[in-house]
Structure 1
């Protein structure tokens, strides 16, 4: 019973939230912040927009899928764009970077090892005129 509790607790800890990091650099006009939900991704240039800045997002966690890390990176990039007052991000790059660490967790006689990779995205924060 004790081992079951330990395994359950370790599983809970290992399945924690994805770590999100991001940055933004303002290079355009100042606008009031928006919400991440109002930021749209663009893969090609819209017809009428203003550049507000450069944004990045990163998603990192060893025990989740690549898609989950990518979703977290995009979510963080949208938050960074919203902080600049953007309503769009012109996507520039999507990729993975190898984290310089491996994760090992042992509970009782069970050991889990994984090599961590971070998903990273970057783009141009823009304000699209209606």
Structure 2
């Protein structure tokens, strides 16, 4: 019995750490490539490009720290773009989601068998707020050399 509870808890935590990426197709996908080949453009990419899909994603429910959240959403955008054969992502922005840490306090009283009792409790929720990001997966016809990244404006 305890093993099944442990399994259920593990499954719930694993699902809480996952966040899916949604996409709306704008063009034809190409053959998949490696995510490392996908460049993220914070301004317009050089040269001509073709839009493939609009992407939206969020960091996992168990991702802590702003830099880790940003890295997570950029990585997910790159991975999804790579699946579509896009060699670039036009970064459209990010925002912090709802939720976050909270503290709750509860007090109760009762009577049982002629005796009265009072109890209290404190609950703490330390789940971080997720970061959401949007981007457009694109195929850049004349991309910059591999390993270079355009400057951030």
* Distance (Å, rounded) in 2 between the aligned partners of 1:103 and 1:97: 19
- Aligned residue for 1:125, secondary structure, equals strand
* Aligned-residue RMSD, C-alpha: 2.9
Cα deviation, residue 116, structure 1 = 2.5
Q: Does 1:41 align with 2:40?
A: yes
* 1: CA distance, partners of 2:42 / 2:141: 17
Larger fraction in strand: 1
In the alignment, the residues of structure 2 paired with residue 113 and residue 19 of structure 1 have an alpha-carbon distance, to the nearest angstrom, of 19
Partner of 2:73: 73
Displaced runs of 4+ in structure 1, greater than 4 A? 100-104
Corresponding position of 1:117: 129
Tell me how far 1:90 sits from its aligned partner: 0.4
In structure 2, runs of 5+ residues without a counterpart are 1-12, 105-122, 143-153
1:48–1:63: structure 2 CA closer, same or farther, 3 Å change rule?
closer
User: If you compute each CA radius of gyration, which structure gives the higher value, 1 or 2?
Assistant: 2
Name the CA shift for 1:103/1:90 in 2 (closer, same or farther; >3 Å): farther
The TM-score with structure 2 as length reference comes to 0.61
Q: Unaligned regions of 5+ residues in structure 1, if any?
A: 1-13, 105-110
For residues 66-123 of structure 1, give each alpha carbon's deviation from its aligned partner in whole angstroms, at most 9, with x where no partner exists: 211221111111111111110000011111101388699xxxxxx8632520011111
TM-score by length of 1: 0.70
